[in-house]
Each structure stands twice: as C-alpha cells, then as structure tokens.
Amino acid sequence: MTTVTAANQSSVRNMATAVAPLITMGTTLVVRKALIKGYEASTGKPAPVIANRDAPVLARVLWSAGMAGVIASIEIVVWKLLDSTDD
C-alpha cells in the first residue's frame, strides 16, 4: 500500500501545473481544427475566421466569440481534471 505524503502531493501538483498549459494548447488546437472542418463540412463554405475577408463581419465576430468560449471551457476542464488533488 502506498501512502501519499505532503511532499509527493506537492510534486504532483507542481508537475500538473507545469503540464496543464501544454495540454490546454494541444487540446485547443485539435478542437479548433475539428470545429473548422465541421463547419466547412456542414455548410460547404470556409469557416468565418478572422483571415477570411470574404465572410461578413458579424459572422467573423460571432465565430470568434464562440471559439473564445470553447477555448475558455477547455482550459477550465483541463485545469479541473489536473487539479483533482484538492479532494
């Protein structure tokens, strides 16, 4: 049986804190690509990303706001999963 000491718990927390931004960036990249591909597959048009000058301004603003919400949600979930040592 393994006992968890305060030092072990602290080192796990430090490692989770160091790795969390990398996991968040990787997950965000994958989800962003999936959302863009899904949009293009369902509408047949390119996603209204900022660089797409042919898309209406409102569509680009709404797309950016939606992506910001998704990215914030991913960050919250990743940090919550990695910081589960508070239980």
Which structure tokens are listed for 14? 């430090």
Q: What is the rounded distance in angstroms from the CA atom of residue 54 to the CA atom of residue 11? A: 50
Model pTM score: 0.68
pLDDT (tens digit, 9 = 90+) per residue, 12-31?
667 777 788 888 899 999 99
Digits of tens for pLDDT over the chain (87 positions)?
A: 555 565 556 676 677 777 888 888 999 999 999 999 999 999 998 888 888 788 899 999 999 999 999 999 998 988 888 876 555
In the structure encoding, which two tokens stand for residue 29, read together?
A: 């990249």
| CB-side neighbour CA atoms (13 Å) of 58 | 0
Q: Label residue 3 exposed, middle or buried (CB < 10 Å: 0-12, 13-18, 19+).
A: exposed
